[in-house]
Chains A and B, each alone.
Chain A
């Protein structure tokens, strides 16, 4: 059974700091890995999608890496801003693309 763990559960940083969110998964037979952002009471916004054959993806200030063999992914956020405050969820896709397994998220607060 695939299990996804995210560390830390919560993080508070001053504005401008670079930060790393961690995600680990137990079964390396994944189709892809996706990072999402969720604002309180809202749906999920896709940030980055990494296919199993890729090592990293970048979008603006965000960079996500994938090490499938060790079952790990990191989300790097550069020059954090208060607007980055949200919960960040990591999800691995298995079953040939038909199921996402999520971690419980990292709640990020960026303070002025």
Chain B
């Protein structure tokens, strides 16, 4: 069984640009969540997708948006990048059948300059 895979692993963008991060969920998982982790902090919940619909959102502005595809993979899009968006972005997948035990990917390190 494959785990959660994220791409790219590292990314450098300029302030004001747009970025798309990608995530493939673990086989059998139908729920995908995205988290932002700043240096030295715990991950912060951005949003979750279940069956291609947004199913909960944290305190992030609308320029953070997402998609989930029929194969349960997902994208995180961030528009109008700001310096404070520099962080490790983590994708996690789960399913109700497994009691919502979350499996995380290795993350995408985004640097905004």
Contacts and interface: CB of A to CB of B under 8 A. Distances in A.
Interface of A: 4, 31-32, 34, 36, 41-46, 49, 51, 89, 91, 93, 95, 97-105
Nearest to A95: B56
Interface of B: 6, 31, 33, 35, 40-45, 48, 50, 55-56, 58, 88, 90, 92, 94, 96, 99-107, 109
Contacts, number: 68
A97 B94 contact: yes
**Interface SS majority for chain A:** strand
Majority SS at the chain B contact face: strand
Contacts of B106: 42-43
A49 B101 CA distance: 6
18 contacts: A4-B42, A32-B99, A32-B100, A34-B101, A34-B102, A44-B104, A46-B102, A46-B103, A49-B101, A89-B42, A91-B102, A93-B102, A97-B100, A98-B31, A98-B55, A99-B56, A99-B58, A103-B42
Nearest to A97: B100
Contacts of B102: 34, 46, 91, 93, 100
Contacts of B104: 36, 43-46
A48 B58 CA distance: 24
Nearest to B94: A97
Contact of B90 (A4, A43, A98): A43
Contacts of A51: 99
